[in-house]
């Protein structure tokens, strides 16, 4: 490209990827019953995760106003709390709640992520806009409306993740939460196609957070509020676009200064399929264990082996774990673990605890459990290998398996059977088995945080989808408010 081209101030047409997202958000009609059914489970699961997170002081300190006293009467209700916040800070709080325990839904491809992170934005705006509509004598948004928005947010985030590995350039996957939430939030606010493109362009200009807080030696709790931060930023971009903030049409493709050249090795985005409802239909749920998803089947394997291993723990010579390439790259971790965030991203820790104790719960990542010397002793005996078959099936778009295998060898030469599981209970292929467990997860979480009558009402709605879909969003958020 010539120097004259670089100096030209002529505004180009908007980059096609930004236009495609805006067209999808504005025009695409979701007609998949499976997508709506799955989105309903995503909503319930996300509320469960939000409720469970309120029990942890490290999370709870993030859930109030940005400065003391800055509550907003008539604002957004934060689930499981008494806070009412402006929609920007509410998006941060709810997004942080949903993601805190690493227990919400997951999408695994070239990029990894958690599409229900976007519900931080969607629930905040759903409550805010519905309460505003009632004050102005208009009909509020319904849960059915919210489910449609969630399907589209899932599709944008997951669609980009299929072939575009932001992790390969050191950027965190929450860049896609900000993208999806910005687009859908602007549409929820009544934005035009042009305003959505403007908002999206500003989202890309933000660049992305570095992944270093997810990896040794810097693993820390920012990974639990990073999605909330992306949700908050998305609402800001959407509100700014509605005020007339200008856009940047070649935010991606501008030579030298655009996202592709600055942050993506000069390469444009690639797409496997047009936007539809594929991501929501194939989303992965974390149902039984709050564990990084590449380890979910390893935890299931370890739980099956617990009865054979626990009585002979002092005889263990080595533990062989087979995993996918992505799992080995992200969560194969040796040495001291500094905090709970370090532990819930360590494959060896997530296998050791169920082998020893026959369980893996959120509290097992805390300092009290981690102080048990048997955990680190067992971690030192573990060998982690990539299984090429697991990697191949992980990348196959028709399978999207997340396989692991575990086998324990003893000092007398004996060994356990090799337990291998291709896909966890939260996989699409195990929906019939998994959804009753997900409903139980939801009810148990709600009963730990809310009055009995509210939970009874919520679960009655959950069991009758047509009633839940017809519920106004502000009524749903009122039911989720702590007494």
pLDDT, tens only, 290-347: 888 899 999 999 999 999 999 999 999 999 999 999 999 999 999 999 998 899 999 9
Give the residue from 157, 184, 156 showing the smallest Cα distance to 173.
Answer: 157
Question: Would you say residue 429 lies in a domain?
Answer: no
- Identify the domain containing residue 377 by its residue range: 293-424
- In this structure, the answer to whether residues 173 and 316 fall within a common structural domain is no
pLDDT, tens only, 74-108: 999 999 999 999 999 999 999 999 999 999 999 98
Question: Would you say residue 349 lies in a domain?
Answer: yes
Residue 256, judged by CB atoms within 10 A of its CB (0-12, 13-18, 19+), counts as: exposed
- In this structure, the answer to whether residues 35 and 107 fall within a common structural domain is yes
The total number of structural domains in the chain stands at 2
- In this structure, the answer to whether residues 199 and 316 fall within a common structural domain is no
Question: Would you say residue 172 lies in a domain?
Answer: yes
- In this structure, the answer to whether residues 221 and 315 fall within a common structural domain is no
- In this structure, the answer to whether residues 231 and 297 fall within a common structural domain is no
For the chain, the first-to-last Cα distance in angstroms comes to: 63
pLDDT, tens only, 116-168: 999 999 999 999 999 999 999 999 999 999 999 999 999 999 999 999 999 99
Distance CA(23)–CA(197), nearest Å, equals 9
| pLDDT value at residue 290 | 87
- In this structure, the answer to whether residues 237 and 331 fall within a common structural domain is no
- In this structure, the answer to whether residues 183 and 213 fall within a common structural domain is yes
- In this structure, the answer to whether residues 191 and 276 fall within a common structural domain is yes
Domain boundary among 378, 401, 424: 424
Give the residue from 144, 140, 97 showing the smallest Cα distance to 474.
Answer: 140
- In this structure, the answer to whether residues 323 and 212 fall within a common structural domain is no
The four Cα atoms 371, 349, 351, 389 give a dihedral, to 10 degrees, of -170
Tokens of 188: 């929820």
pTM exceeds 0.85 for this model? yes
pLDDT, tens only, 198-209: 999 999 999 999
Q: What CATH number did the domain enclosing 360 receive?
A: 3.30.1330.120
- In this structure, the answer to whether residues 170 and 227 fall within a common structural domain is yes
- In this structure, the answer to whether residues 264 and 355 fall within a common structural domain is no
Question: Would you say residue 365 lies in a domain?
Answer: yes
Question: Would you say residue 246 lies in a domain?
Answer: yes
Q: Is the dihedral of CA 385, 389, 395, 401 positive or negative?
A: negative
For residue 432, whether the previous peptide bond is cis, meaning omega lies within 30 degrees of 0, is no
Is the pLDDT assigned to residue 5 strictly greater than 70? no
Distance CA(406)–CA(401), nearest Å, equals 16
Q: What CATH number did the domain enclosing 146 receive?
A: 1.10.4100.10
Contacts of 372 by beta carbon, 8 Å cutoff, 6+ apart: 356
CA atoms within 13 A on the CB side of 365: 25
Question: Would you say residue 341 lies in a domain?
Answer: yes
Domain boundary among 254, 281, 308: 281
């Amino acid at each position: 490209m010539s120097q004259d081209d670089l100096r030209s101030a002529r505004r180009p047409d908007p980059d096609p990827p930004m236009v495609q997202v805006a067209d999808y958000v504005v025009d695409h009609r979701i007609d998949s019953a499976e997508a709506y059914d799955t989105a309903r489970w995503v909503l319930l699961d996300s509320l469960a995760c939000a409720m469970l997170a309120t029990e942890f002081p490290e999370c709870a300190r993030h859930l109030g106003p940005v400065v003391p006293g800055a509550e907003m009467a008539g604002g957004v209700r934060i689930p499981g709390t008494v806070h009412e916040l402006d929609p920007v800070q509410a998006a941060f709080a709810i997004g942080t709640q949903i993601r805190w325990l690493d227990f919400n839904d997951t999408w695994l491809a070239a990029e990894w992520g958690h599409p229900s992170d976007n519900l931080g934005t969607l629930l905040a705006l759903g409550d805010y806009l519905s309460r505003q509509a009632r004050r102005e004598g208009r009909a509020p948004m319904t849960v059915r409306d919210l489910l449609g928005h969630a399907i589209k947010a899932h599709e944008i985030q997951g669609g980009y993740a299929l072939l575009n590995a932001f992790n390969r350039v050191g950027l965190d996957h929450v860049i896609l939460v900000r993208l999806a939430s910005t687009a859908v939030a602007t549409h929820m606010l009544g934005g035009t196609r042009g305003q959505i493109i403007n908002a999206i362009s500003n989202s890309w200009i933000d660049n992305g957070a570095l992944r270093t807080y997810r990896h040794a030696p810097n693993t820390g709790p920012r990974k639990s509020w990073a999605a909330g931060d992306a949700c908050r930023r998305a609402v800001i971009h959407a509100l700014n676009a509605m005020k007339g903030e200008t856009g940047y049409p070649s935010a991606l493709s501008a030579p030298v200064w655009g996202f592709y050249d600055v942050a993506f090795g000069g390469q444009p985005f690639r797409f496997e399929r047009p936007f539809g409802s594929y991501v929501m239909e194939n989303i992965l749920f974390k149902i039984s264990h709050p564990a990084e998803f590449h380890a979910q089947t390893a935890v299931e394997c370890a739980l099956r082996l617990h009865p054979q291993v626990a009585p002979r723990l002092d005889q263990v010579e080595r533990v062989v774990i087979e995993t996918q390439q992505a799992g080995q790259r992200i969560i194969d971790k040796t040495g001291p673990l500094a905090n709970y965030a370090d532990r819930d991203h360590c494959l060896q820790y997530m296998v050791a605890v169920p082998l020893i104790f026959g369980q893996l719960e959120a509290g097992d990542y805390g300092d009290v459990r981690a102080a048990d010397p048997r955990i680190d002793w067992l971690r030192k005996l573990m060998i982690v290998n990539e299984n090429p078959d697991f990697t191949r099936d992980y990348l196959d778009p028709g399978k999207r398996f997340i396989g692991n295998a575990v086998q324990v060898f003893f000092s007398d030469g004996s060994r356990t059977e090799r337990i291998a599981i291709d896909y966890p209970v939260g996989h699409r292929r195990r929906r019939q088995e998994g959804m009753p467990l997900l409903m139980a997860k939801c009810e148990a979480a709600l009963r730990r945080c809310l009055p009995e009558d509210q939970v009874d009402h919520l679960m009655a709605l959950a069991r009758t989808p047509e009633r839940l879909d017809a519920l106004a969003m502000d009524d749903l958020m009122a039911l989720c408010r702590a007494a």
